[in-house]
Amino acid sequence: MASIDIKGVKKVYSGTVTAIHNLDLSIPDGQLVVLVGPSGCGKSTLLRMIAGLESITDGTIAIDGAVVNAKEPAERDIAMVFQNYALYPHMTVRGNLEYGLKNRGTPRDEIDRRVAEAARILEIEPFLDRRPRQLSGGQRQRVAMGRAIVRQPKAFLFDEPLSNLDAKLRGQMRIEIKRLQRNLATTSVYVTHDQLEAMTLADQLVVMNGGRIEQVGAPISIYERPETLFVAGFIGSPPMNLMPMDGALGAQAFASLDLPSGTDVVGIRPDSLVVSQPQTPSASFSGTVELVEPVGGESHVHMRLAGSSDIMIISVPGRTEIVEGAPMTVYAKAGDLHPFNHQTGKRTDTPAANP
Amino acid sequence: MQAKRTVFPNKILPYFLLLPQLAVTLIFFIWPALQAVKSSFEREDPFGFRTTFVWFENYRRLFIDPLYLSSVGKTAIFAFSVTLLSMSLSLILAVAVNRVLRTNRLYTTLLVWPYAVAPVVVGILWWFMFNPNIGIAPYLLRGLGISWNHRVDGVDAMILVIIAASWKQISYNFLFFVAGLQSVPNSLIEAAAIDGAGPFKRFWTIVFPLLAPTTFFLLIVNINYAMFDTFGIIDATTQGGPAQATNTLVYKVYSDGFIGLNIGSSSAQSVVLMIIVIALTAIQFRYVERRIQY
């Protein structure tokens, strides 16, 4: 168990391609931190640098207070769960679990005790003498996690561990990983491109883009108050509506509202849009319903704004009476608007201005 | 819907299309093989006037002939050494190339060249380098105080043919090992690195076991090669000598039959070799194709 401190870390490939720019991040002891971002944002590179599988061009990474830049992966006392599980195909499940302990010269009875315990926790006892190829995807996933937990490392690193599973199993394993991490209270870094996985798992969510950190915080606070346009568009499903304020539409919709200066894009969550006009000051949008997607508990209405080619997505609870092709007007409370400047990509309302 | 199949309405056409391959196989493989089996049961008088059917007499004599039994021993030493030497060297080369992935195309191309060299040329090449009168190797060895003369020293002669035969086979093994190494997923190596295994341990506990199918395949191929395909190399370097020191089974077939003109014994020897080839091939198909798969 340990904290991980990343200071001014940079990764440059073959002298020209910068994958990570001067990144600072500190991961507190015992927390589950999720790195999320689109592919190519540097999240996997960062994880592999923590693991010692990639060299660090500049800056320092410290695990438990000790700088590990020059240490081999084996000396960093971390365990990693790979996307393709990376189980040793020629060993049994037991052999896979024991391998790391044997390499470290753990006494035999201690190995047996830890393997038995991990097998019990992950419910893989019946498969201990099988080979990985005789297991299903979900079972392999458990073995991969077992291989990490028997080591009792300072930190777990997860590299998109659920992306090879089907949707149902993914949801199930997500809950198990969270429960396991809670029980063991081992510092964990988890990389994913799936924002739902990121939201549900994270104690701390780190949104990355283009080799930089966009925002760090608790998942809900990031959802409620995205600091940048990128985060606003990336976190949340269906994604936030980002309405440009230039042109006729912006002027009329937001005219009555006192938006901070410099605002030229306004973000509105699909679930903040309502069909009945609220008492408080609000923006209103009119258009035609183009498509209704019922997803079960709620429906997503795609509305084409009058006099523009922009589509707005509105999330309405339950099955809706709204029919495709009908005219529609929706409202958003002033407090539910997220004002941005597209030049800087940042929010325009500073915390002081918006209590 | 079934997969589309071409159906020949003409019954004779398929056989006609197969004919060239069948003809080659029959004329150059089956027929000589049957001839060998037939003459292995016969004895011919010294002037070639009369052949008598002698049942297993040729075989019986073969297995009590000390020269033949010594040739079996030489062949075993030769095949074992060539297989070990060429496989271990090519594995080292393949691992080295696999580490420097960026430049490996050049290395791979260069390392494959020896395979394209004809066996006789390989023999001449090494014969020249080790020539006791003018060769560079004996000259250098003399500087180290080692006297080299494969014309009189049987051990020297054996070392020479082993080196020549191994050198030629390294390319072939190397190609298969490189392909095998490339198919070991990188994440396995990384997982082992995180699991606390150093480079050597990673190689012996992860990479080498995963190469087992390749290694086993090459083992059979190399034994086959050393036992049967090295005729040209031996003929160009030592011609089985000195004093039978490098007279392997396949070379003995040639020297007894074509030099010694003992057709019956030579045929019996080639039938024995045929049986060994069939056995090795059977092992290869039975185990390589099925057993070792991950």
What are A301-313's pLDDT values in tens digits?
Answer: 999 888 777 888 9
Query: CA Rg, chain A, in Å?
Result: 24
Mean pLDDT rounded to a whole number for chain A: 87
B185 contacts chain A (CB < 8 A): yes
CB atoms A103 and B212 under 8 Å: no
Break chain A into its structural domains and give their ranges.
4-229, 240-348
- Show pLDDT as tens, one digit a residue, over chain B (294 residues): 455 666 767 788 888 889 999 999 999 888 988 888 888 888 777 677 777 777 877 888 888 888 888 888 888 899 999 999 999 999 998 888 877 765 556 776 777 777 777 777 887 888 888 887 788 888 888 888 777 777 778 888 888 888 888 888 888 888 888 888 888 888 899 999 998 888 888 889 999 988 888 888 888 889 888 888 888 888 888 877 787 778 888 888 888 888 877 788 888 888 888 888 888 888 877 776 655 555
Distance to chain B for A44, nearest Cα, Å: 13
ipTM (interface predicted TM): 0.81
Binning pLDDT at 50, 70 and 90, where does residue A351 land?
low
Q: Is B283 left (phi over 0), alpha (psi -120 to 50) or beta?
A: alpha
| pLDDT score recorded for residue B290 | 56
A74 contacts chain B (CB < 8 A): yes
**Of A61, A57, A53, A58, whose CA–CA distance to A26 is shortest?**
A61
Question: What domain range is B258 assigned to?
Answer: 59-288
DSSP state letter for A270: G
How large is the average pLDDT for residues A147-166?
89
B206 contacts chain A (CB < 8 A): yes
Region of poorest pLDDT, from A144-153, A223-232, B230-239:
B230-239
B200 contacts chain A (CB < 8 A): no
| pLDDT score recorded for residue B88 | 93
A13 contacts chain B (CB < 8 A): no
Residue B38 covered by a domain: no
CB atoms B194 and A51 under 8 Å: yes
Q: Number of CB pairs < 8 Å for A and B?
A: 60
Distance to chain B for A194, nearest Cα, Å: 22
CB atoms B191 and A82 under 8 Å: yes
What is the three-class DSSP state of A152?
A: coil
Residue B28 covered by a domain: no
Distance to chain A for B292, nearest Cα, Å: 10
Residue B79 CB neighbours (<10 A): 22
CATH architecture of A4-229: 3-Layer(aba) Sandwich (3.40)
DSSP character string of chain B: -PPP----S-SSHHHHHHHHHHHHHIIIIIHHHHHHHHHTTEEE-TTSS-EEE-TTHHHHHHHH-HHHHHHHHHHHHHHHHHHHHHHHHHHHHHHHHHHSGGGHHHHHHHHHGGGGS-HHHHHHHHHHHT-TTT-HHHHHHHHTT----TTT-HHHHHHHHHHHHHHHHHHHHHHHHHHHHHTS-HHHHHHHHHTT--HHHHIIIIIHHHTHHHHHHHHHHHHHHHHHS-HHHHHHHTTT-STTTT--HHHHHHIIIIIS--HHHHHHHHHHHHHHHHHHHHHIIIIITTTS--
| pLDDT score recorded for residue A215 | 92
Number of separate domains in chain B: 1
B148, B132 in Cβ contact below 8 A?
yes
Alpha carbon distance B291, B74 (integer Å) = 31
Region of poorest pLDDT, from A25-39, A116-130, A270-284:
A270-284
> How many residues in chain A?
355
| pLDDT score recorded for residue B101 | 60
Q: Which residues contact B101 (CB under 8 A, 6 or more apart)?
A: none
Alpha carbon distance A128, A98 (integer Å) = 11
| pLDDT score recorded for residue A95 | 92
Residue B283 covered by a domain: yes
Residue B19 covered by a domain: no
| pLDDT score recorded for residue A255 | 67
Residues from chain A that touch B190, judged by Cβ atoms under 8 A, are: 51, 53, 73, 80, 82, 86
CB atoms A74 and B194 under 8 Å: yes
Residue B44 covered by a domain: no
Alpha carbon distance A91, A201 (integer Å) = 31
Residues from chain A that touch B194, judged by Cβ atoms under 8 A, are: 51-53, 73-74, 78-80, 100
Distance to chain A for B284, nearest Cα, Å: 21
Best of B195, B200, B211 to disrupt the A interface (most A CBs within 10 Å) is B195
Q: Cis (ω within 30 of 0) for the bond into B242?
A: yes
Question: What's the predicted TM-score (pTM) here?
Answer: 0.77
How large is the average pLDDT for residues A38-54?
90
How large is the average pLDDT for residues A278-286?
82
What is the three-class DSSP state of A349?
A: coil
Burial of residue A248 (CB within 10 Å: 0-12, 13-18, 19+) is exposed
Residues from chain A that touch B193, judged by Cβ atoms under 8 A, are: 52-53, 72-74
A51 contacts chain B (CB < 8 A): yes
Least CB–CB distance from B195: residue in A53, A89, A100? A100
| pLDDT score recorded for residue B104 | 59
What is the three-class DSSP state of A328?
A: strand
Residues from chain A that touch B200, judged by Cβ atoms under 8 A, are: none
A310, A248 in Cβ contact below 8 A?
no
| pLDDT score recorded for residue A190 | 94
A313, A301 in Cβ contact below 8 A?
yes
- Is 70 exceeded by the pLDDT of residue A21? yes
How large is the average pLDDT for residues A184-196?
90
Distance to chain A for B94, nearest Cα, Å: 21
pLDDT more than 90, % of chain A: 28
> How many residues in chain B?
294
Joined together, the tokens standing for residue A282 give 């609000």
Q: Which residues contact A202 (CB under 8 A, 6 or more apart)?
A: A32, A33, A34, A190, A218, A219
CATH architecture of A240-348: Beta Barrel (2.40)
Residue labelled with tokens 């969550």: A269
**Of A143, A155, A161, whose CA–CA distance to A97 is shortest?**
A143
A29, A3 in Cβ contact below 8 A?
yes
- Is 70 exceeded by the pLDDT of residue A353? no
| pLDDT score recorded for residue B289 | 60
Residue B152 CB neighbours (<10 A): 12
Joined together, the tokens standing for residue B175 give 């190609």
Least CB–CB distance from B194: residue in A79, A131, A133? A79
Residue B145 covered by a domain: yes
CATH of residue B233: 1.10.3720.10
B280 contacts chain A (CB < 8 A): no
- Is 90 exceeded by the pLDDT of residue A243? no
Alpha carbon distance A170, A141 (integer Å) = 10
Q: Which residues contact A178 (CB under 8 A, 6 or more apart)?
A: A32, A200, A201
Alpha carbon distance A219, A213 (integer Å) = 15
